[in-house]
């Protein structure tokens, strides 16, 4: 079970992708993927990995690349454009495309959302969740805050899907005030 409280949380299981994207906190400078130890600690906190699973430097590099690609795609959801760099990152990692499936109790096929049993299972699980969200229409609601000092992943639950900030009271007001001051200086 995912142990995370977000300000604007995505529905499960997309919340796992949101949490993974938010392992980089631009405002505070905290990066949960800065070392194998911090990454492993975060995975255990989130119940994304089976207890005792060990990660290596190459697993960390894969996770950093995946996070980078996912954040680029989330920025595309916000800005309405796709960056070729994200597509190239996904193309370079064939192993990421081996999405694990499981039979649900009714005999239907579903994503295997159990904790990763090996380091190589994590990227396909997150990509499977992302794919499912694209199919069910929730993907485009997962965005990055447009405040360049923040860029926190948030779920846009507004009716018209026009949300731009993770926290209107903080990020939205900061950007609106900056724009106002810039207009005043020009005028």
* HEC string for 76-130: HHHHCCCCHHHHHHHHCCHHHHCCCEEECCCCCEEECCCCECCHHHHHHHHHHHH
**Which pLDDT score, from 0 to 100, does residue 109 have?**
94
Q: What span, in angstroms and rounded, lies between the C-alpha atoms of 49 and 120?
A: 11
**Which pLDDT score, from 0 to 100, does residue 131 have?**
93
10-residue mean pLDDT series, the chain (187 residues): 68 95 95 96 89 92 93 89 80 85 91 91 93 95 94 94 82 62 74
Residues forming a β-bridge with 111: 101
**Which pLDDT score, from 0 to 100, does residue 1 have?**
43
How is the chain split into domains, by residue range? 14-186
**Which pLDDT score, from 0 to 100, does residue 17 have?**
96
Architecture of domain 14-186: Orthogonal Bundle (1.10)
Residues forming a β-bridge with 25: 30
> Helix or strand or coil: residue 49?
strand
């Amino acid at each position: 079970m995912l142990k995370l409280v977000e300000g604007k949380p995505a529905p499960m299981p997309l919340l796992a992708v949101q949490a993974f994207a938010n392992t980089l906190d631009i405002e505070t400078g905290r990066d949960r993927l800065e070392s194998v130890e911090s990454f492993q600690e975060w995975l255990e906190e989130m119940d994304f990995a089976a207890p005792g699973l060990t990660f290596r430097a190459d697993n960390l590099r894969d996770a950093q690349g995946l996070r980078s690609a996912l954040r680029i795609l989330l920025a595309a959801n916000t800005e309405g454009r796709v960056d070729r760099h994200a597509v190239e990152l996904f193309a370079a990692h064939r192993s990421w495309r081996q999405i694990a499936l499981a039979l649900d109790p009714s005999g239907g096929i579903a994503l295997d959302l159990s904790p990763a049993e090996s380091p190589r299972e994590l990227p396909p699980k997150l990509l499977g969740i992302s794919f499912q969200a694209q199919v069910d229409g929730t993907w485009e609601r997962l965005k990055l805050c447009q405040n360049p000092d923040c860029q926190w992943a948030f779920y846009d639950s507004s009716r018209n899907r026009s949300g731009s900030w993770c926290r209107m009271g903080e990020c939205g007001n900061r950007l609106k005030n900056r724009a106002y001051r810039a207009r005043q200086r020009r005028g």
